[in-house]
Structure 1
Amino acid sequence: MKDPDRLKDPARRHPEKAHRPDNPIQRKPDWIRVKAPVSPAYNETRKLMRELDLTTVCEEAGCPNIGECWAKKHATVMIMGAICTRACAFCNVATGRPFALDPLEPEHVATMVAHTGLQHVVITSVDRDDLEDGGAAHFVRTIEAVRRESPDTTIEILTPDFMRKPGALEKVVAARPDVFNHNLETVPRLYPAIRPGARYFHSLRLLARVKELDPGMFTKSGIMVGLGEDKGEVGQVMDDMRSAEIDFITIGQYLQPTAKHAAIDRFVTPEEFGAYEKSAYAKGFLMVSASPLTRSSHHAGEDFARLRAARQARLAAAAE
């Protein structure tokens, strides 16, 4: 049974952050402002999500691109509920004791994909440390349901780290999603403050293991900037990702959800994002998305087509 009132009340949504001093939310620069969603297609997408009782990371994480994506009927589904067992300092998803898994959720996701005619779908989840397999089997059931209903749709998953869940990663990779995404989120120095429940090198190893299990599977990861990292640390994360053979990197501006979340250190300029993009391509990534409004799932369908084309071009060049 869901508790919508709990998820709307910031004090109940983030009880673990209540003791923290307020970090005033800074005014956004002109290059990062977006229009409020008002299109009929946005409202249609919202209505469909409610009818199928689906949760979206677009809403739960307060994504600034929701108006643009939902107007195109693109929504990133967040399976396994709207309550996370972790308490990351950057994240607006509610923390607490999750509800039981909904056995009908995989079929509801498949219905949504078929109804909207999505060519590419992104499926993510909250962390479910309370489950024996971290929710790996639920990911598999959801992938299988989408494949049954929409066999031509490509599937991108954005998973938790499956820490201390032996065999969980192997289950998910065996279901053969087209893209396996897991975000490193920030530089290792900031993990204790920003991502205290996770471990940088565990996440990096998770992505490297995907390539060991299935060398042909596309892997993807992303970080936020503006949390206090420096350019050298971002460059080192890029090098670490390439050592793990990650194909696609996303770099976006951290935006503070509430006064109780981690403060923004600074707003990174579009010119700096352009420099990060140029550097990442020079390091060998097949795809790079680096901009103030870049998010893991933003333009995911178009980016997947470009990612696949980039691999084909690289293979063709190597064969010459």
Structure 2
Amino acid sequence: MNIQTPPRLRHPEKAHKPDSVIARKPRWIRKKRIESAEYYETRRLMRDKKLSTVCEEAACPNIGECFSHQHATMMIMGETCTRGCSFCNVTTGKPDALDMFEPGRVAQAVNKLGLRHVVITSVDRDDLADGGAEHIAQTIRAVRHQNPGTTVEVLTPDFLGKGSAGEAVFEAAPDVFNHNLETVPRLYPTVRPGARYYQSLRLLDDAKRANPSLFTKSGLMVGLGETMEEVRQVMDDLRAADVDFLTVGQYLQPTPKHHPVDRFWTPEEFETLERAARAKGFLGVSATPLTRSSFHADEDFAALKQARQAALAARA
């Protein structure tokens, strides 16, 4: 008898959870699928270099546009995360050992794509003593070595329970240090149960204290059940940590097993969020339904530099 092994569940930790209906997207969320020759070329390069992208793993709605412009946000340290956040489409489980040659392949891919600004993110690696901080630092250095004209933005885990592990990343001196708060404190137990809100805030504060010239960045999703006032309070907390740039986007439910969408915020509400954030002193803000941390990150970085120069000139 030929017995077939059942396929591995992508999210085994969510298998017991009841399905929820995926809400129909409003017209301002729907996006036409783009699959150009450049799209397939970018995807093929990632396969050839044995690299993962958060664009694919997290089912980003902007993947067609980004890949077609040969932009890719590389996700290092494997495709398996040690956390089980209820919003995230990345696989949860026991990760493989770190690949010591991965930083070099990332640098090669950046060179091949001709990126002037690259965003590098990773899964959470709670299984590692330093949470993967040194591997991230090695990747920054490898990219810089092969691509001296490229600016580097990292979107890191929180290194929860790893002491001062984040210092290895700060010392590697990325141009932008990004760590997403994701949601408001009240929703952490259900949305981001493995994380701690104030630990994430402290990491952002530590990054700025370690290098005051470093640009810091954080992101939020709305549509998980938060209120406008709670979002405004998070903005205040981020400004207290001297965070420079804020992204706010609409949460989209990846599968019936994930956290349901509480509601779709309107474009007008996103405009209100952007005005509020700018009034609170952020150097840069991107708040639209389809905003994601690394979407148009190259343009955002250029705008950040200009905004800082203007602020310094105004004080002179």
- Within 1, Cα distance between the matches of 2:241 and 2:164? 20
Which residue does the alignment assign to 1:255? 252
CA-CA distance at 1:37 after TM superposition:
2.6
1:27-48 Cα shifts (integer Å, max 9, x gaps): 1111111112311100000000
CA-CA distance at 1:201 after TM superposition:
0.5
Which residue does the alignment assign to 2:281? 284
1:24 and 2:21 matched: yes
TM-score, normalisation: structure 2: 0.97
1:201 and 2:198 matched: yes
- Within 1, Cα distance between the matches of 2:301 and 2:199? 26
Q: Secondary structure at the match of 1:32?
A: coil
1:71-112 Cα shifts (integer Å, max 9, x gaps): 110000000000000000000000000001111110000000
- Within 1, Cα distance between the matches of 2:202 and 2:142? 28
Q: Secondary structure at the match of 1:309?
A: helix
CA-CA distance at 1:67 after TM superposition:
0.3
Which residue does the alignment assign to 1:192? 189
Which residue does the alignment assign to 2:146? 149
Match runs of 1:64-143 below 5 Å: 64-143=61-140
1:218 and 2:220 matched: no
1:129-169 Cα shifts (integer Å, max 9, x gaps): 00011001100110111011000100000000001112311
Moved more, 160-169 or 190-199: 160-169
In structure 2, runs of 5+ residues without a counterpart are none
- Within 2, Cα distance between the matches of 1:289 and 1:23? 30
Which residue does the alignment assign to 1:33? 30
The aligned amino acid for 1:242 is R
Equivalent in 47, 51, 68 of residue 50 of structure 1: 47
Which residue does the alignment assign to 1:175? 172
Equivalent in 247, 264, 268 of residue 267 of structure 1: 264
- Within 2, Cα distance between the matches of 1:42 and 1:232? 40
Identity %, equivalent residues: 65
Cα RMSD after superposing both structures = 1.1
In structure 1, runs of 5+ residues without a counterpart are none
Which residue does the alignment assign to 1:310? 307
